[in-house]
Structure 1
Amino acid sequence: MRSSRALVRAIVPLAVAGLVLTGCGGGGSSKSSNPGGSSSAPGAPASSAAPAPTTDPLTGLPASNGGVTNHPVYIAKIDNTSSSRPQYGIGDADLVTQELVEGGITRLAVFFYSKLPEKAGPIRSMRLTDIGVAKPLNARLVTSGAAPVTLNGLAKAGVKFIDMNNPNVRRILDGTHDTLHSVQANIDKLGASANQKTPARPEDFFDWGTDADFTGTIPATTVDTKIGNAPGSNDIWKYVGGKYVLQNGYMDPGSVYKPDTVIALTVKTSIAPYKDPAGNPVPVTHFEGKGKAVIFHGGKALKARWSKDGVEGLPKFTTKDGTAVKIPAGHVWLALVPKGGQSVSAGSVTWHK
């Protein structure tokens, strides 16, 4: 995995100049100098250069620049309780991952890459769970801080973060939230000040496909994902107008994230070697390994299996018979549902017409 990622990063800068020659279909090519379609001299080895990308790596949707930027992927840790209302900036996200934290509540890891909002939040603290979330894309976590155990774990894993030592992540007491939930981040300014000298493109987060690739047949226009056991911690989704609309969320009405696909993964959990200030055990979700998955798209459900090769791996999906599953290009909400055990209650995924 590490070598393939290095290859993607290495070839992208060389291909940037050719992006204007590329269509949105699948890479395109320049005109050939001979009827056989090869510009090489007879007997010369064929070129092995990969085509320039034409899509965004976090959505699979067409991108005029092929998803090449001068900034990394940013993952904002955003509170997901009633105290977070309104959540800012989530409507500009490419991808959202929902994870369990202490007290039976959840927190969002919100991926920003193709669009960088000027205001995102309320920004909260990191967890060891975030290693498996951020590491595959070498993303930068945007956070209010973390416990020492988490900071040590992130350092060992080589995961970088941006906290309130940066002037673009700060507490703003404007009366909309209490003090704890008042930290906001200007992701746009973080991107403008990025020190990434060479334009690059991360790997595709999923194996992207089209609507036609989706083979789900089980009617599912209402989806209920339960990650935590706190009252109201489950999410209820309705399939409306080709999108999944969260019925009990806290997003700012002016910036609502309506995914094309909702994916629920059953994941293993454990307990971190510390407790939160209130004395609650801190769960760790292990976003690696393998397990069951349910993929919801187009008002239908597909039961599948997921796998992820270590914290650096990217998630892959297969059907029961081992056939690879592609995720239709678009915006995705990824719910990490606990399998349960060691002081962590099992979550659930249910659906109906």
Structure 2
Amino acid sequence: MPRGRRVVVRVVLVVVVLAGLVAGCAGAGGRPSPLTGVSAPAGAPVLAVKVDNSPAGRPWTGVEDADVVYVEPVEGGTTRLLAVFSSRMPASVGPVRSARESDVTVLAAYGRPALAFSGSAPELAGTLAGASLLPLTPATAGDAFRRDAGRRAPVNLYADPAALLSAAGDASPPRDIGFRFGALPSGGEVVRQREVTFGSAVLGLTWDAVRGRWLVEPGGGDPAVPATGGEPIGAATVLVQRVTTRPSAIRDAAGAVSPYAVTTGEGDAEVLRDGRVFPARWSRPAPTDPTVVVGPDRQPVAFAPGPVWVLLVPSG
């Protein structure tokens, strides 16, 4: 689209921006990624990284390049991120934190991805060892990790994605995890801002029509900006997935029990895209199955092409 042209109507502008994203990737030799609906390098491996989401751990590094970001409940009513990369790999990502039981179930739909994390509780070691993923920690891929001397532990561990994938070996390429991408569905409710709560944690979302993104606001504050600067971090689509939780066998140093987010079965959901919200239901019979998201008409709800954030929100 020529730079000299300007579209005044905001809804039309959003459509043009999204069309430009798809067109801009055309001809790059890739096919639409099942993770974003945008063309990406064929056969690129999937790397997931567990990232801190506490005030001390922000701003994030590399999260802006993720195809999919899961926001997961952890102990104490707080959250952590599971950032999934394939289309683009940042030079660095972090702060890297420890794995949780929920990660294993979420990633089972991806085949055999690589998972980078700082470590895990002893109770989770057997589950991780038996999971269909390639675990990467400082103990197994030390050269891929570094400590930032300007930060205090535990939020000073960062990883090099290229080195991680080299250490992982044969990580799976993207496959169908259930997302469907397409034109803006009819209906829905106009929404420009939304706050989502996870226990004591809050994630704010603000629709930016110019960028065609839901800007992510950790703690309900200002939009998140990468540690390296640049554009605010945002998602073309946000899936608010209401899940049941149950206590896991893992406790933190203070003795708080880590919840396990149950991402199999079914539940209520909302799809946020293009400044609108659509009621939905999600279903996933087994961990290796895709997550299907349908509207009241039982038809798949189309996501907007681009990065997706999935909020695993406790339903009770």
Answer yes or no: is the 8 Å Cα contact 2:114–2:168 preserved in 1: no
1:174 partnered with 2:174: no
Query: Residue in 2 aligned with 1:124?
Result: 97
Deviation per CA, 1:77-100: give whole Å up to 9, x if none: 000011102211111111100000
Residue type matched to 1:189 in 2? A
Cα distance change of structure 1 residues 218 and 76 upon mapping to structure 2, 3 Å threshold: same
**TM-score, normalising length from structure 2?**
0.82
Q: Give the superposition deviation at 1:144.
A: 0.2
Question: Which 10-residue stretch deviates more, 315-324 or 121-130?
Answer: 315-324
Q: Give the superposition deviation at 1:143.
A: 0.3
Q: Give the superposition deviation at 1:134.
A: 1.2
Query: Residue in 2 aligned with 1:290?
Result: 266
Cα distance change of structure 1 residues 191 and 332 upon mapping to structure 2, 3 Å threshold: same
Residue type matched to 2:183 in 1? D
1:221 partnered with 2:192: yes
Give distance in 1, aligned partners of 2:165 and 2:60. Answer: 20
Q: Which protein is bigger by CA-based radius of gyration?
A: 1
Query: Residue in 2 aligned with 1:324?
Result: 300
* RMSD over equivalenced CA pairs, Å: 2.3
1:55 partnered with 2:32: yes
Q: How does 1:73-84 map to 2 (within 5 A)?
A: 73-84=46-57
Q: Which runs of 4+ in 1 moved over 6 A?
A: none
Q: Give the superposition deviation at 1:256.
A: 4.2
Alignment: residue pair count: 281
Q: Percent identity?
A: 28
Answer yes or no: is the 8 Å Cα contact 1:134–1:140 preserved in 2: no
Q: Give the superposition deviation at 1:167.
A: 2.5
Cα distance change of structure 1 residues 73 and 172 upon mapping to structure 2, 3 Å threshold: same
Answer yes or no: is the 8 Å Cα contact 1:82–1:250 preserved in 2: no
Answer yes or no: is the 8 Å Cα contact 2:114–2:165 preserved in 1: no
Unaligned 5+ residue runs, structure 1?
1-23, 25-51, 341-353
**The residue matched to 1:328 in structure 2 has which SS?**
coil
Unaligned 5+ residue runs, structure 2?
1-22, 24-28
Residue type matched to 1:272 in 2? S
Q: How does 1:82-231 map to 2 (within 5 A)?
A: 82-137=55-110, 138-165=112-139, 166-175=141-150, 177-196=151-170, 201-212=173-184, 214-229=185-200
Q: Give the superposition deviation at 1:114.
A: 1.2
Query: Residue in 1 aligned with 2:9?
Result: none
Query: Residue in 1 aligned with 2:246?
Result: 270
Answer yes or no: is the 8 Å Cα contact 1:215–1:302 preserved in 2: no
Answer yes or no: is the 8 Å Cα contact 1:94–1:111 preserved in 2: yes
Give distance in 2, aligned partners of 1:216 and 1:161. Answer: 43
**The residue matched to 1:294 in structure 2 has which SS?**
strand
Q: Give the superposition deviation at 1:101.
A: 0.5
Residue type matched to 2:284 in 1? K
Deviation per CA, 1:10-58: give whole Å up to 9, x if none: xxxxxxxxxxxxxx8xxxxxxxxxxxxxxxxxxxxxxxxxxx9721232
Deviation per CA, 1:159-183: give whole Å up to 9, x if none: 33100121244341321x2121111
Answer yes or no: is the 8 Å Cα contact 1:319–1:325 preserved in 2: yes
Answer yes or no: is the 8 Å Cα contact 1:206–1:326 preserved in 2: no
Query: Residue in 2 aligned with 1:68?
Result: 43
Query: Residue in 2 aligned with 1:243?
Result: 213
Cα distance change of structure 1 residues 103 and 153 upon mapping to structure 2, 3 Å threshold: same
Query: Residue in 2 aligned with 1:29?
Result: none
Residue type matched to 1:61 in 2? V
